[in-house]
């Protein structure tokens, strides 16, 4: 196990296994070839060609979303997709642009549309040493059950902005009050492109750092985290190097934290793999 193994795992996307998914001549997703084939019979919604798929459903966001939902429902019924999450993500060619439609969170990777999330590093300094708050995911989470996770992390649902998602998740997941989360500093984004069981995860994580007071103790309120522990940041990094204990993309978020805070030794043989591997450029 190495840092690079985690970076590679999050970037195992293989261009040969996918076709681009277009809307109005702009790419909005990546469809694995088997997923593209499964869309061929929904001719009023998708036009499946040999090397690309087009969205052909027309109308406003509600109309297109309804057309896509019918397809998602059919795919759920034939077990190509997990059950509905009943939480929708906006789909647009670019962050900040007007969405073309909304899609259920469970189908995001099927269509390979970009999935946006927030991730909060909650840390404190004890006698010069940086400590990180680390959570453990509940055993009944669909994705990465029991894995170690960041203090706060969550997907950006339809209609929510970045800061609003952070505040909501910080409250639900870790009991961080509004007065404290306001001090969180946006420090960039992690980007990766990963094939998973469902399709392609085009992941973008907006990353925040929050220095927490010594008397703050996180309390989970939504049942998604079973416990929190405070760990020396250097121990977190050693454990990332040696194990698969952390959720796949959380490895990358903590490596970014270590890099930015000078906790990674510049003579580490993997220093440049980490520095160059956490921000896959958009195509």
Site residues, a copy of itself (CB under 8 A)? 11, 95-96, 161-163, 185-189, 191, 204, 206, 259-262, 264, 266-267, 269, 271-273, 275-282
- Measured from the CB atom, the residue of 30 and 46 that comes closer to a copy of itself is 30
Structure-block tokens of residue 86: 């009943």
Select 59 or 186, whichever has its Cβ closest to a copy of itself: 186
Q: CB of residue 66 vs a copy of itself: minimum separation in angstroms?
A: 29
Residue (1 or 272) nearer to a copy of itself, CB:
272
Three-state DSSP at 234 gives helix
Structure tokens at 201: 């995860």
Cα angle 202-205-208, degrees, rounded to a multiple of 5? 175
Q: Strand ranges (DSSP E) for the chain?
A: 18-23, 26-32, 46-48, 53-55, 88-91, 101-104, 114-126, 129-137, 148-150, 152-155, 185-195, 200-211, 225-232
For residue 41, the minimal CB distance to a copy of itself (Å) is: 35
In whole angstroms, the minimum distance from the beta carbon of 261 to a copy of itself comes to: 8
Burial class (CB in 10 A: 0-12, 13-18, 19+), 241: middle
For 177, the 3-state DSSP assignment is coil
3-state secondary structure of 256: helix
Q: Is 138 or 259 the residue whose CB approaches a copy of itself more closely?
A: 259
Nearer to a copy of itself by Cβ, of 90 and 104: the residue is 90
State the number of CA atoms in the 13 A half-sphere of 98 facing the CB.
Answer: 5
Shortest Å distance, C-beta 67 to a copy of itself: 28
Query: By C-beta, is 213 or 262 nearer to a copy of itself?
Result: 262
Minimal distance, residue 175 CB to a copy of itself, in Å: 23
Q: Which is nearer to a copy of itself, 56 or 275 (CB)?
A: 275
Query: CA–CA separation, 264 vs 243, rounded Å?
Result: 17
Minimum distance of a copy of itself from residue 190's CB (angstroms): 8
Contact 221, 170 (CB under 8 A): no
Q: Provide the minimum distance between the beta carbon of 163 and a copy of itself in the complex, in angstroms, as a whole number.
A: 7
């Amino acid at each position: 196990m190495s840092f690079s193994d985690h970076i590679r795992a999050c970037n195992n996307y293989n261009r040969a296994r996918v076709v681009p998914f277009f809307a109005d001549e702009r790419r909005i997703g990546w469809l694995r070839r088997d997923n593209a084939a499964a869309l061929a019979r929904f001719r009023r919604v998708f036009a499946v060609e040999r090397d690309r798929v087009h969205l052909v459903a027309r109308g406003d966001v509600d109309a297109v979303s309804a057309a896509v939902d019918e397809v998602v429902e059919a795919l759920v019924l034939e077990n190509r997709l997990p059950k509905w999450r009943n939480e929708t993500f906006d789909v647009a060619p670019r962050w900040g642009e007007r969405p073309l439609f909304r899609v259920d969170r469970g189908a995001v990777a099927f269509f390979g549309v970009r999935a946006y999330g927030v991730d909060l590093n909650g840390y404190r300094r004890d006698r010069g040493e940086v400590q990180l708050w680390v959570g453990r995911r509940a055993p009944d989470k669909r994705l990465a059950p029991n894995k170690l996770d960041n203090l706060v992390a969550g997907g950006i649902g339809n209609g929510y902005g970045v800061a609003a998602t952070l505040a909501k998740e910080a409250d639900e997941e870790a009991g961080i009050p509004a007065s404290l989360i306001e001090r969180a500093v946006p420090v960039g984004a992690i980007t990766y492109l990963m094939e998973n069981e469902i399709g392609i995860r085009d992941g973008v994580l907006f990353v925040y750092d929050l220095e927490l007071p010594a008397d703050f103790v996180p309390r989970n309120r939504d049942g998604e985290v079973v416990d929190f522990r405070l760990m020396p940041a250097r121990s977190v990094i050693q454990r990332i190097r040696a194990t698969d204990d952390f959720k796949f993309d959380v490895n990358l978020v903590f490596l970014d934290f270590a890099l930015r805070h000078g906790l990674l030794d510049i003579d580490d043989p993997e220093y440049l793999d980490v520095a160059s591997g956490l921000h896959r450029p958009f195509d």
